[in-house]
Amino acid sequence: MKKKLRVMVQGTASDVGKSVLSAALCRILTRDGYDVNPFKSQNMSLNSYITPEGLEMGRAQVMQAEASNKEPSALMNPILLKPTSDRKSQVIVKGKVHANMDAVEYFAWKPTLRQEIANIYHELEEKSDVVVIEGAGSPAEINLTTNDFVNMGMADIADAPVILVADIDRGGVFASIAGTLMLMPEEHRDRVKGVIINKFRGSREILQPGIDKIEEITNVPVLGVIPYFTMNLEDEDGMSRWLTEKREAGAIDIAIIRLPYMSNHTDFNSLMLHEGVTVRFVKLGEALGRPDVVVIPGSKSTISDMKALRASSTYQGIIDCHKSGARIIGICGGYQILGKTIVDPERTETEEEYTEGLGLLDVTTIFQPEKNTTLTAGEDSLFGKKVKGYEIHMGVTTANDEQLAPLVRIEERIGGTLNGFDGTVAEGGRIFGTYLHGIFDNSCFTNAYLNEVRREKGLPEVLEAMAPEDFWVYKNKQYDKLADLVEANMDKKMMYRIIGLEA
């Protein structure tokens, strides 16, 4: 019988780098010839992905699956919570919508999930040489330990050794390590077999006395000190940095409206690869400036976000940008917002049945109870390029004007009905909406679109042969760079002994 091996990555807090370091371990183990699968029992995120079966899961485990050279599976993330308001979340179980619940309802229901989580984990374990398990938040959140199946509760289910990740960049790293361990009961402290200090800037020599002291205090070895790095990865922990960091101005300025319930901001990572392009997120109420392109992104609560947009100065800002010549794009919920009307007859999202949109596209969206979740591929109508991506939406959008062209002629739709077309194009492509998440990951399409902007601005075009590679090819190389960095700054032999492998 195959020996079942696993390791769990937990953190002293959120945003310490658990997702990325889990991905690094997945790629290191995979490159060494092991059959690896990632697992996270519960994710809370507005960024999700659709598997080939049409099931929804969190993007962090998609990243880790890709690092493991695996097709993403909902088994890797059986529970996904997608906030729909300040108090409620859509609860997705094994890739399908279960219900909308507030925190009290969910915590009352949570104990019934533990055995199901255990069953799903063991099913995945049977298919693996090693499972790399990611925790959530911190195991020291002592108000959440009852019925826990995300951190130490999950380590108990899997009988997993735990690696604790701490972020030195935010300060107080040694206190956070010691404090986290102190707040654990002894049986859980015993599970922690090593610590990784992440996001380090400076001299390891100066840090070493602190490492020696924390090892003495906790009796837990520091397995590695990972230098601060930035890579274009689709990790949840990097979301705050990606949304707020300032970038050097480029020749093409793309402004993305940061909606309150914005989802799938990973749609825009690939734009950063294109020459002379600046991508910036603009909060509601902030001045838009003079962008070349305005993008309204996906939304988990389209009607709420439309109301918030209408109540802010950004509403008129988008209209003014359009009048002054900016191109306008809407993706998924943003596509719905671009239209004239949004109708929710069964009150799927809010108590409002009817909402007016921006009116820049002559389309109507009608919400339906069933969510559309598909992998989609086809050819775009603007440039004749092959495109692929995924759809996650509860609305059906229809053009009111038969003269409006669709954006994509669909050739394949895995997980849903093949109905021919996606999206709507107006004003010769100056405005378009689409349900296709990941459309910019298709480099030839994106380069052709950006060349339209370059021509208008009198800039030289970029030949298709000189355009960046498709984003999924680029990401695969990033995983190797990540693995190289972590492997060079970690005691790999000790890590493998902790897992139960021969180094």
What was the pLDDT predicted at 231? 85
Residue 485 has pLDDT above 90, yes or no: yes
pLDDT for residue 348 = 74
| Residues written for the chain | 503
303-343 pLDDT per residue, tens:
999 999 999 999 999 999 999 999 999 999 999 999 999 99
More confident residue, 443 or 403: 443
What mean pLDDT comes out for the span 421-427? 95
Q: Does residue 387 have a pLDDT over 80? A: yes
**Strand order in 88-93's β-sheet?**
42-44, 79-83, 88-93, 96-102
85 pLDDT tier (thresholds 50, 70, 90)? confident
Query: What is the mean predicted confidence (pLDDT) over 224-246?
Result: 71
Report the pLDDT value the prediction gives residue 418, as an integer from 0 to 100. 66
pTM over 0.75: yes
d(CA 491, CA 227): 14
What confidence tens digit (pLDDT) does each residue in 123-171 have? Answer: 999 999 999 999 999 999 888 888 899 999 999 999 999 999 999 998 9
Indicate the Cα dihedral angle 456, 459, 460, 466, nearest 10°. -90
The pLDDT confidence band at residue 415, using thresholds 50, 70 and 90, is: confident
What number is the average pLDDT over the span 429-437?
97
If pLDDT is split at 50, 70 and 90, which confidence band does 235 have?
low
- Domains by residue range for the chain, with CATH: 5-233+476-499 (3.40.50.300), 252-458 (3.40.50.880)
Structure-model confidence comparison of residues 341 and 247, the more confident one: 341
Query: Which of the four pLDDT bands, split at 50, 70 and 90, describes residue 1?
Result: very low
Residue 239 predicted with pLDDT over 60:
no
Which position has the higher pLDDT, 48 or 432? 432
pLDDT of res. 345:
87
Name the least confident of 62-76, 144-158, 234-248. Answer: 234-248
| SS3 annotation, 211-234 | HHHHHHHHCCCEEEEEECCCCCCC
Catalytic residues: 332, 437
> What is the pLDDT averaged over residues 408-416?
87
Query: In Å, how far are 20, 235, 497 from 17, measured between CA atoms?
Result: 5, 9, 22
Q: Cβ contacts of residue 300 below 8 Å, gap of 6+?
A: 46, 82, 83, 84, 90, 261, 263, 333
